[in-house]
Structure 1
Amino acid sequence: MEIVFSPDAPKPIGPYSQAIKVENTIYVSGQIPVDPKTGEVVKGGIKEQTKAVLENIKAVLNAAGFSLSDVVMSFVYIKDMNLFSEFNAVYAEYFGEKPPARVTVEVSRLPKDVLIEIAVIGSKGV
């Protein structure tokens, strides 16, 4: 088991790691739309926040030698399902032709009152 840390993603705001790598699999903790340079929530709506989250996930994956194309499962927590199609449009830009399996649920509240949080699992072929 290896702890993964990227300075290009927000530092954890609690007792957890950005990600854990076990052999050819990476488990990325939920990322929220926080600018890693300022520590502040990214301004804007669901599109801007989704982009920031996915950029943070990319940074963590890259730190371990993975990429978005290695993501096999994502867990999406969205504040308002009415924002789903706007979120989905940005998400599709990042995952293209072969998107991972996904769970999407509406939640009543997220850390720092953001609109979205995403966690992923990635795997490299053996």
Structure 2
Amino acid sequence: LSNVAAVLAAAGADKNDVRMCRVYTPGVENWDVIDEQYALFFGAHKPARVVVPTTALHFGCLVEIEAVAKIKEKK
């Protein structure tokens, strides 16, 4: 999620601009920790979320997150 925050910041956005996330994980046994960290990161903001069980992720990662955000127009 720190990577999500960094990409959002580089685009001039923040976590409140996220509209939807796809969360990929190779094992549902990881869901409690993922859910806890996701809730801590987003707080009261509740973007739509899809959880996708997968086979092994690249480099043995336990979670991969794809986020879609609405970027504010620059004036």
> TM-score scaled to structure 2, two decimals?
0.90
Deviations 1:31-89 (A, max 9, x none): xxxxxxxxxxxxxxxxxxxxxxx001110110010101100000100111011011100
User: Which runs of 5 or more structure 2 residues have no equivalent in the other structure?
Assistant: none
Does structure 1 residue 98 correspond to structure 2 residue 49?
Answer: no
Aligned counterpart, 2:16: 69
The Cα RMSD (Å) is 1.3
- Count residues in correspondence: 73
Q: Distance in 2 between matches of 1:113 and 1:125?
A: 35
Distance in 2, matches of 1:75 and 1:91, equals 12
SS at match of 1:119: strand
Q: Secondary structure at the match of 2:46?
A: coil
Equivalent residue number for residue 110 of structure 1: 57
> What is the identity, as a one-letter code, of the residue corresponding to 1:59?
A
- 1:77 alignment partner AA: Y
Large movers: runs of 4+ above 3 Å: none
**TM-score, normalization by structure 1:** 0.55
